[in-house]
Amino acid sequence: MEFTAATIAGFLNGEVDGNPSVKVNTVAKIEEGHVGALSFLANPKYEHYIYSTRSSVVLVNKEFVPTEKIIATLIRVPDAYKAFASLLTLVEQSRPKKTGIHSTAVIESSAIIGKDVYIGANAYIGENCFVGDGCKIYPQVFIGDNSKVGKNSIINPNVTIYHECVIGNNCIVHAGTVIGSDGFGFAPQSETEFMKIPQIGNVIIEDDVEIGANVAIDRATMGSTIIKKGVKIDNLVQIGHNVEIGENTVMAGQTGIAGSTKIGKNCMLAGQVGIAGHIKIADGTKIGAQAGILGDIKEENTIILGSPAFDYKQFFKSTVVFKKLPELKTRLDRIEKEIESLKGK
């Protein structure tokens, strides 16, 4: 597909600064730009690329003021990053869509399949399942008995959804993710033996949730593990049994959440955060990378870092001391020797 700068500006309600007739047919990073490509500049760290990029069109924030000559045509918008994301969405939507049910897909007779659904090769849909209108079920997906997938959801290749789980509308689940495997429940019988506790609950994922690749979300022991509306989960995240994640919370890769923990809405968890079980995290909490959370966070909109984690301002003050510990130890040893010498006198 090919668009002029004027057409793109019209779609984004932007202003053209340069040649409105210049055409683009692809997108590229600003540092890798070439003729016919559209790029964007949002981060000031990349400004130097705009003076040398070969991209034909560059989206910039409306207030951007160049300090050198720019060859590319600019489209000025209120937020270049959001505008570029909108264009990528348009490009994605314009791609050919998979349709139909592959001959090798296995769909049990009691399953209900909606309209305009795509089901790929070797997918399996179990007894009494429901797949809503407009869903895309890619090859080798497994959907266990009595599970439900809401309308317009996308289940990518090799996803496993165990029995009796619920996926809402407009969700995206990326390749290799497992939803509804048994929670980690074992009762000690002796010093060397454990008895498995049956996990008879399920997982409920509400609308507009996106789950990355190779995520594991355990089913509840009883009741439900719940991922609420609008949550975004990165790759390689582990969510334990009976966990609840509040609306619009986001979490980065390799985060681990132990069983029965409740995380509030609008929280942000950076990479490799570890959260102990049976605790509560208040709404709006922001947790820095590799933080370890061992107890409740009761105050909303708190920012915490460290392991064990504590208030980020205190953490930054503490890092100054951490760096000086060897020096402080040397000074302390010297003071102790001086005190011992004075005692001797």
Residue 36: Cβ within 10 Å count: 16
The Cα–Cα gap between 280 and 121 comes to 42
| From 34, 102, 174, 241, active-site residue | 241
How many CB atoms lie under 10 A from the CB of residue 73?
Answer: 23
Task: Find residue 191's DSSP bridge partners.
Answer: none
Q: How far apart are the C-alpha atoms of 252 and 47, rounded to whole Å? A: 27
User: Annotated catalytic, 174?
Assistant: no
Provide the b/e sequence for 220-251 (b: ≥16 CB within 10 Å). Answer: bbeebbbbbbbbbbbbbbbbbbbbbbbbbbbb
* DSSP 8-class letter at 229: T
SS3 201: coil
**What is d(CA 197, CA 192) in angstroms, rounded to the nearest whole number?**
16
CA 252 to chain centroid, in Å, comes to: 5
* Amino acid, single-letter form, for residue 189: Q
DSSP 145-195: TT-EE-TT-EE-TT-EE-TT-EE-TT-EE-TT-EEEEPP--EEE-SSS-EE
Could you tell me the CA-to-CA distances from 198 to 144, 182, 204, 226 in Å, in that order? Answer: 17, 8, 18, 19
Strand partners of residue 129:
none
104 closest CA partner among 139, 133, 128, 143: 139
Question: For the residues of 278-302, what is the DSSP string, one character each?
Answer: S-EE-TT-EE-TT-EE-S-B-STT-
Catalytic residues: 241
